[in-house]
Structure 1
Amino acid sequence: MKEKKRKEIIESAIKLFAENGFYNTSVQDIVTDCAMSKGAFYNYFSSKEELHIAIFQYYFEQMSTRTIEIDKENLNPREKMKKQLGVPFEELTKHKEFFIMYLREQSFSINKELREFMEKAQFETLTWYERNLKDLYGENITTFIGDIILLIEGMKQSYLAAMLFHDLQMDVDLLPNFLMNRIDDIVNAFQNGEEPIIKKSNLLSSFPQCSFGNMDRIEKASLLLADMQEQLENMKIDEEQRDGLAGVIDFLKGELKKPNLEKYAFQGMLANLKEIKEFDIYREKIAALLDVQLL
């Protein structure tokens, strides 16, 4: 019940912020729309600023949930990625007025909590790109995958901006296929000898000064393990194997909470995940973050 009311407050705030703006919408406006007292509001959020952060978490969770739903569909890697590329455009179409308001009033400060959330979201997005691109095109794209990710994001953000700033009417059903065709062109160019701009294979390590570089290595490793858990839930494997792998991931999450990391224990448990090819990218990233040699 509490979670349902919390969602109601968030959705009311999204509507009112879109109609009146962030500054011009008071907590009283929100509680009136939700038919609740101001005192009750503070049982859910300590301030309007905390509610603001919750809205961004809400949008990211909506997109993550939709992405996971597509993961569960019986699709080949290309169809899956194409469909998932369309998720941000679907969300923008549903809540366009809110995003216009946010960009118009973006002068209000981004506090520490919101910045940290944005860093985590960006880190997870880059990891998603790397995993899906390797599933689709194979490991041989590793040397130029950083360029591919930046070019995809550049195209995607440009179309999102055109929808917002210029109110261009686009067929969002056609956009994912169009983007996939352009990704094919980019990959073909590199495979035919185009020199990559980014010399390192890992985009995260190529740009240590980017905002997500502020996250510490333990936090990054924790996010990767959480992503592995989600992947595991959607894998078509027998329950005994799933339970065993889930136990390994839980053990690793517990190790990360200890004041002193036991590298040998971590090394041994990461080796138990070798049986799942989809986990290779995570094992490599976690090992690099924690300075652990993979077995």
Structure 2
Amino acid sequence: MSVLKEKILQSAIRLFAEKGYQATSIQDIADDCSIAKGSLYKHFSSKEELYISILEKRQEDMVDAVDRIRIMQLPKRETYLEEIAYQFDFYVKHGYYISRDHNELPPVNNDKIESVLTRMRRSMFLYYQDMLIRHYGPAIDKWKWDATALLSGLIREYTFHLLFEGKPIGKKELALFIAERMDDLVEGLAKRSAPSLLTDELMTEYSRIDLKNVLDSRQGRKDELIERISSIIPDIAVPNQRKKELAEVAAMLREESAKDHPRTFLLRALIRDLESESELAFYANQLHPFI
């Protein structure tokens, strides 16, 4: 992603949050970026596409954070608690859509945006289910959809109290409370042998989403970060010789990271070199979990 495209996204996020989607025009965003409206359209064909790009970036950020938790290789219970706690960190920071206001609502009567939001909600639902299956194993199989609905409901309701009502509840404390309530639920379902309400037949629309592509594409996200760095290099404010050096560093990083057994010391050195440039540091820093 180029420096200008990133600037446009950040401007849109701020203006959508401050003024709302309907009240923000493409001209407002272009003026905020000090560019012509035509230059903005070279990157985003419409305000709708810009909004969708922000939503998708939010989900990428969530997936990247979950991935960093997983590769820490903590004990299973700690991973479970960390993943639950992160849900609250993420939503309190970003809100559900774009802003953190009570008025934050997605654009209405827009089929394309609603389709994206529906896909994202279903992806998150399946991620919660994956979290439960990884933690409880076969014990949850019979009630996987119902248990997921209950976990999703708990996270949503407590997020509301944290986000909109400012309840002073610690994220770690809340994660432990929810994990223990899910323990109680799984144990109670097994004891009562309760029938499931949400069956595979009722949830067929969720089976069309490939969660593996959403959560397990570490190589793809790493490649995307390297490509983003490569695309930014021509626009940064350094001499041409330095740009050439940085482009070679990015190419070496791409080549080395693609190997079956990349040399860790070399990857770290290459990333450090990229991090030394302030305009690349944000993206280069995100590569460390992939080493």
**How would you bin the TM-score normalised by the shorter chain?**
0.5 to 0.7
1:206 aligns to what? 202
Letter matched to residue 206 of structure 1: L
For 1:130-169, list aligned pairs within 5 A. 130-169=129-168
Alpha-carbon RMSD: 3.1
Unaligned regions of 5+ residues in structure 2, if any?
A: 222-259, 262-291
Q: Deviation at 1:224?
A: 4.2
CA contact (8 A) 2:48 2:113 kept: no
Question: In structure 2, how many angstroms separate the alpha carbons of the residues matched to 1:157 and 1:145?
Answer: 18
CA contact (8 A) 2:9 2:54 kept: yes
CA contact (8 A) 1:67 1:84 kept: yes
Question: In structure 2, how many angstroms separate the alpha carbons of the residues matched to 1:105 and 1:134?
Answer: 32
Secondary structure of the residue aligned to 2:22 is coil
Structure 2 length normalisation: TM-score?
0.66
Letter matched to residue 158 of structure 1: E
Letter matched to residue 80 of structure 1: T
Secondary structure of the residue aligned to 1:117 is helix
For 1:15-34, list aligned pairs within 5 A. 15-34=14-33
CA contact (8 A) 2:162 2:169 kept: yes
Question: In structure 2, how many angstroms separate the alpha carbons of the residues matched to 1:152 and 1:128?
Answer: 11
Question: In structure 1, how many angstroms separate the alpha carbons of the residues matched to 2:10 and 2:56?
Answer: 12
Q: Deviation at 1:148?
A: 0.9
Q: Deviation at 1:29?
A: 2.2
CA contact (8 A) 2:128 2:151 kept: no
Q: Do residues 60 (structure 1) and 59 (structure 2) align?
A: yes
**Aligned CA distance change for structure 1 residues 14 and 183 (closer, same or farther; 3 Å):** same
Q: Do residues 50 (structure 1) and 49 (structure 2) align?
A: yes
Higher relative contact order (CA 8 A, sep 6+): 2
For 1:175-190, list aligned pairs within 5 A. 175-190=174-189
1:11 aligns to what? 10
User: Which deviates more from structure 2 when the two are superposed, residues 157-166 or residues 48-57?
Assistant: 157-166
For 1:210-289, list aligned pairs within 5 A. 213=205, 220=208, 223-224=210-211, 226-227=213-214, 229-230=216-217, 239=260
Secondary structure of the residue aligned to 1:75 is coil
CA contact (8 A) 2:92 2:100 kept: no
Letter matched to residue 161 of structure 1: F
2:115 aligns to what? 116
Q: How many residues align structurally?
A: 223
Q: Deviation at 1:158?
A: 0.5
User: Which deviates more from structure 2 when the two are superposed, residues 144-153 or residues 106-115?
Assistant: 106-115
Q: Deviation at 1:110?
A: 4.7
Question: In structure 1, how many angstroms separate the alpha carbons of the residues matched to 2:133 and 2:104?
Answer: 38
CA contact (8 A) 1:86 1:172 kept: yes
Q: Deviation at 1:172?
A: 2.4
**Aligned CA distance change for structure 1 residues 124 and 47 (closer, same or farther; 3 Å):** same
Question: In structure 2, how many angstroms separate the alpha carbons of the residues matched to 1:18 and 1:141?
Answer: 39
Letter matched to residue 127 of structure 1: L
